[in-house]
Structure 1
Amino acid sequence: MADLHETFTEFNRIIALSSTKKNELRTSRNSIRKDIETYFDKNRDKHTVKFKGQGSFAMNTTILPISGEYDVDDGVYIFGKEEDKPTPNTAHNWIFKAVENRTNQETIDKNTCVRVQYAKSYHVDLPIYYKTTDTDNENFFDSEDIPELAHKTKGWIESDPYAFKKWFDEKAKDKNQLKRIVRYLKAWTDNKSHLNLPSGMVFTILAVNNYVSKDRDDESFLETLQGIQKSIDDTRHIWAKYECYRPTVDTLENLLDKYSSETRKKDFLDALNSLITSGKQAVEVKSKKDACAKWQKHIGDRFPCSSINEKDEDVAKAFASPDLLRYDNKSA
């Protein structure tokens, strides 16, 4: 059987954030934080502000997208009394004014966040939350005062992305392989962007819930994919349910509802099945190059097949027995 563990870990190095890029993103994020703190010091007597990183950058599962543009999410938490609570639009205006001149690119006020654009290489999204209590502990969170997200069209919505980060950090503690599996899933969805596959949050939850630890990343990835399929693909598995619930607020929200139209669901589950079929073939063939081609057509050209050094005589030995057939690269 072809062992592609090293190829997968090399792929992880290709798509993961480098230390240099992490430092650059942190520097930009901290500059934005300073802008917002200065604005509140000068303009808001009844409110204070703090920050919490969220999303894949905070969880260390960010990948370099094919487009080349990174996305960083940094939660802005406004603290004040209930009677001094602004409208979501007002809260957006405060943050927009604070950061609008941070770069020479256009700052965008979206429904769920304010976006600061840094040329074409990355952007920082600033979702805005309101809390009426500010604890002295490091996390400034308590169990009763759930943050509310400022949504410009839906109003204030209970949302706690930092709780999701804490949940993931606990599940992924001492499990670097799990973080790599999440990155591989994100790389697959990025390569299949035309299918509008589920979000990174969905695949993060599905990966945690179905993670299979193995010595080899290719086997772990395949068996985790099979676990995901068995849990959600109700077209192929009788006990499956097409569901993915948040582990934190809102725990009643099935995140797969957004991907449940007949066409979108079929595209997703068929793509998942095709990836699994190729993965099964990849771990069974003898040639590493053949195995790599199986994965590459799903995960993308960045999957480093060209780095595989395989001698023809080694492959010939693997197929010395007449009843062993070599897969071609066109199946699955």
Structure 2
Amino acid sequence: MAYAQSQFESFHNTILFGYDSSKELRERRDTLLNDLKNNISGDAPAYQTFYQGSYALDTGIRPLDGNPDMDIGIIFDCSPEDYADPLKLKKFVHDALERHNRSVTIRRPCVTVTYYKDGVATHHIDMAVYSVNANDQTNIAWCRSTTPLADREWVVSEARELSDAINDRFEGDDRNQFRRVVRALKRWRDQHIGHKNTPSIGLTVAAYKWFSPRYDAMDGKPRDLVAIRDLVDQMLAYWGLRLNVHLPVAPHSDLFERMSDKQMEDLKGRLVALRDSLNEAAKQPDTHEACKILSKQFGEDFPVPAKVDTTKQTSAGVSVSGRSA
């Protein structure tokens, strides 16, 4: 059997986006936070910032369009009742960050700062605005600049608690494999899903719910192919009329709720094809042939070694086991 573990790890190293190793994005982040501190209106409440999304989870990948992002939360020291119109706080952020060398846009979930080179977006940073309610829950400011006043709202959103829950789910080698599997699924999505209604956080939370680490029972080495296959099997096993993946923290919403029935049907078909390809690859006696199959699912960044360098067959009877987190 060809598990192609070294190729999975090489693939992971190619697609991962480590924000702290990206000098340009790191410098942009520091500049924005300094601009916010130095330029925000004196009428704005005090605030603190935190990292969220793939930055906080260490599951970022290099996007196919070359426009990486970072997510930052800004928690103002106020309650939703203090600012019944959440747009006021978002405008404080917008006005503090507006500069000639970048665009600043108030979107429904965040304030987005985009940088360009020769008219092409190179990267962007999303800054979500929060307040804290009487139950000590963070509420996100949910509105665009064009949203009618009656439709502007505060929505419970426990972003920090979500990051903590996912980061604490696994430890050590199990956590490393979890992150490799999540990154592989996110790249698979980018390759095969042509819409944004299958969000990467949905795949990440699906892995939080159903991922189990997998290792070779003989030598203890990780088996990412089997871990991905088993995760996809679990996603399909829990499929009812649709796949429902709920946040483990408030507001406990279904992360795939925006998907139409047609999109959901397409996702299921593509997951079945992924599972079948993983099974087919594992049966190959030659790693070269296995990787040809896998590269069709994960894209050209998945390495296909020369045929003469492969043909390492796993001994008969070797099983794959999991470890508890």
TM-score, normalization by structure 1: 0.82
For the 8 Å contact 1:37–1:49, the answer to whether it is kept is no
2 CA distance for matches of 1:204 and 1:82? 29
Give the Cα–Cα distance (whole angstroms) in 2 for the partners of residues 82 and 194 of structure 1: 37
Partner of 1:138: none
Cα deviation per residue 1:117-171 (whole Å; 9 max; x = unaligned)?
Answer: 12232100011111268xxxxxxxxxx3111111114411111111100111101
| Residue in 2 that maps onto 1:98 | 96
> Which residue does 2:209 correspond to in 1?
209
3-state SS of 1:204 partner:
helix
Aligned to 1:194: 194
For 1:81 and 1:202, locate their aligned partners in 2 and report how far apart those are by CA, in whole Å. 29
- Counterpart position of 2:230: 223
**8 Å contact 2:7–2:303 — kept in the other structure?**
yes
User: Do residues 272 (structure 1) and 267 (structure 2) align?
Assistant: no
Q: How many residues end up aligned between the 2 structures?
A: 293
Contact conserved, 1:172 with 1:179, CA < 8 A, in 2? Answer: no
Distance (whole Å) between structure 2 residues aligned to residue 19 and residue 92 of structure 1: 25
Aligned to 1:284: 283
Identity of aligned residues (%): 23
SS at match of 1:274: helix
Partner SS state of residue 258, structure 1: coil
Is the 2:138–2:158 Cα contact (8 Å) retained in structure 1? yes
Residue 327 of structure 1 corresponds to none
Report the alpha carbon displacement of residue 25 of structure 1 after superposing the two structures with TM.
Answer: 2.6
CA distance in 2, matches of 1:217, 1:189: 17
Higher relative contact order (CA 8 A, sep 6+): 2
RMSD: 2.2
Corresponding position of 1:145: 136
Q: Cα distance 1:83–1:280, how it changes in 2: closer, same or farther (>3 A)?
A: closer
Structure 2 match to 1:3? 3
Q: Which amino acid aligns with 1:43?
A: G
Give the equivalent residue in structure 1 for 2:218. Answer: none
Q: Is the 8 A contact 1:88 1:150 kept in 2?
A: yes
Larger radius of gyration: 1
Taking the aligned partners of 1:105 and 1:126, their CA distance within structure 2 comes to 14
1:158 aligns with 156
Following superposition, the deviation at residue 24 of structure 1 comes to 3.5
Provide the secondary structure at the position in 1 that maps to 2:75. strand
Q: Displacement, 1:112?
A: 1.5
Pairing 1:1-332 to 2, within 5 Å after superposition: 1-18=1-18, 21-40=21-40, 43-44=42-43, 47-80=45-78, 84-85=82-83, 87-101=85-99, 104-119=101-116, 120-131=121-132, 144-152=135-143, 153=147, 154-174=152-172, 175-194=175-194, 196=196, 198-214=198-214, 215-232=222-239, 234=240, 242-251=243-252, 253-259=253-259, 261-305=260-304, 308-311=305-308
Cα 1:285/1:157, change in 2 over 3 Å: same
Q: Give the 3 Å change call, closer, same or farther, for CA 270–83 of structure 1 in structure 2.
A: closer
How far residue 255 of structure 1 moved from its aligned partner, in angstroms, is: 2.1
Tell me which moved more, 173-182 or 77-86: 77-86
| Aligned residues of 2:19 and 2:26 also touching (Cα < 8 A) | no
Note the C-alpha offset of 1:197: 5.7
Q: Which runs of 5+ in 2 are unaligned?
A: 215-221, 314-325
State how far apart, in whole Å, the 1-side matches of 2:258 and 2:20 are: 36
**Deviation sequence 1:223-262 (CA, Å, 0-9, x none):** 2221222122x37xxxxx63111100112x2222222x22
Gaps of 5+ in 1: 134-143, 236-240, 319-332
Give every structure 1 segment of 4 or more consecutive aligned residues whose post-TM-superposition deviation is greater than 6 Å.
none
Which secondary structure does the structure 2 equivalent of 1:128 belong to? Answer: strand
Aligned counterpart, 1:139: none
**Within 2, Cα distance between the matches of 1:83 and 1:183?**
39
Q: 1:172 to 1:155 in 2, by over 3 A?
A: same
Whole-Å Cα distance in 1 between the matches of residues 114 and 14 of structure 2? Answer: 24
Q: Given the two structures, how large is their TM-score scaled by the length of structure 2?
A: 0.83
Q: 1:290 to 1:128 in 2, by over 3 A?
A: same
